[in-house]
Amino acid sequence: MHRRVLRSFTAAFAIALIAVLPTRSHATLPPVVNGQPLPSLAPMLQNVTPAVVNISTKTRVRVNNPFFDDPVFRQFFGLNGSPREQVEQSLGSGVIVDAAKGYILTNNHVVGGADDITVTLQDGRNVKGTLVGTDPATDVAVVKISADHLQALPIADSSALRVGDFVVAVGDPFGLGQTVTSGIISALGRSGLGGSSFQNFIQTDASINPGNSGGALVNLRGELVGINTMILSPSGGNVGIGFAIPTKIAGEVMQQLIAHGKVSRGSLGVQTQDITPNIAKLLGLKDNNGAVVTRVMPGSPADRAGLQTGDVVTAINGTPLHSSDELNNAEGLLPANSEVSLSVLRNGATRQVTAQLTPAKIATLDAGKLDPRLAGVTFSELDDQQASQGTGGISVASVSPNSRAAQAGLSAGDVIVGIGNRRITSLRDLQGLAAARPRQLVLLVATDEGLNYVVIQ
């Protein structure tokens, strides 16, 4: 009896529920609630998405195979003596920031060293891109296109961002096509992540994946606040930790690249190191914060400002410093001729000093004069940032895109610590290279990923 009553009640309740539920044709969200339209990012994105482009590149890379150097092998298989090449392709994103002149902001790792750049606009047009300049130190690059009816994004002041602000990332992840994701600002001022020398990243949980690099990070007004550049992920996919270069940095670098094709940075002219517990005890410091000066270059801005070996720099422009890397980072992100205020601790007393950053005078060398196989390569002494890494060596200042060195994989910003079996610590160590002329030119190169060999035939 009770079961029959329960079944009857259940059936009646189901019929009543069906009667009050809306039919399928009315199951969508209403356009307004209490007279107010539902919130949506769509109106803002209508102005943003046309300014975000897909960038595809082709890079010709020389394939080194020891069998091709064997004349018997080449004769047996009918191979000629010309080097073999393979074409590497990559995809990324970019942001139109000047519609009239066709300037696009993107990442250096998207277009750096590319032989061919193709920009695909939202309306489907494919346009050839020209590289204006790159800055590996901040991973920023500028590409120029010539096309009509372009739409650019306005650039916001990223220094006004706060943790918790809503942001939207737009790009082309995995080559799927333009994709929009949303999130918040998770952190500001992130550094020490590898991949570039000077860092002050915006961290966001808006989904960023491979292919998003160079794309736009925008606020809810549709203004550009950052250029998406990298993720932290054990799997290679998004886990909610993505990073973007703030527009305050990207914009300043862009202006220099457009004006000069390169970035001119200022230097204090000091070498510093972190404060270990032993150093803190030796100097009578209360903690390990700051950077201790280990060398002051004669005639440098630091020398003129009165800095001495053993001084501890505790803040720059009012921002506290916790390590030597933070000082190098802050210094490298400022343009040449910037005036900086330093808080310096000496003999237990704090003093304020002012210095004007001047472009570092670094010796350079045309590597083609040492060996014809290095034509198109310029070597230089290490700058302060590179020298602080402690590996020594010489820096690759520039590499022509179509040179033999570029085809072998040498890139601007690489640090050469050895040639053949010879350790290299300065340009002076290259004096005997021109007379040696080995059959294979083997360079030992230090990168963020470690040491590797570059072989130039």
Three-state secondary-structure class, residue 199: coil
d(CA 453, CA 430): 18
- 15, 53, 61, 78 from 253: Cα distances, Å: 67, 20, 28, 50
Nearest CA-CA partner of 247 in 179, 198, 200, 194: 200
Nearest CA-CA partner of 399 in 18, 98, 134, 48: 134
- 4, 7, 9, 393 from 1: Cα distances, Å: 5, 10, 12, 93
d(CA 54, CA 95): 9
Residue positions annotated with a catalytic role: 109, 139, 213
Nearest CA-CA partner of 52 in 216, 285, 181, 212: 216
Contact 95, 151 (CB under 8 A): no
d(CA 247, CA 334): 14
406-410, long-range: CB within 8 Å, 24+ apart, which pairs? Answer: 406/113, 406/376, 407/60, 407/61, 407/62, 407/83, 407/85, 408/61, 408/62, 408/64, 408/454, 408/455, 408/456, 408/457, 409/61, 409/454, 410/377, 410/443, 410/445, 410/454, 410/456
d(CA 312, CA 291): 5
Contact 179, 172 (CB under 8 A): yes
Torsion angle, CA of 348/353/359/361, rounded to 10 degrees?
Answer: -50
HSE of 37, CA atoms in CB hemisphere, 13 A: 5
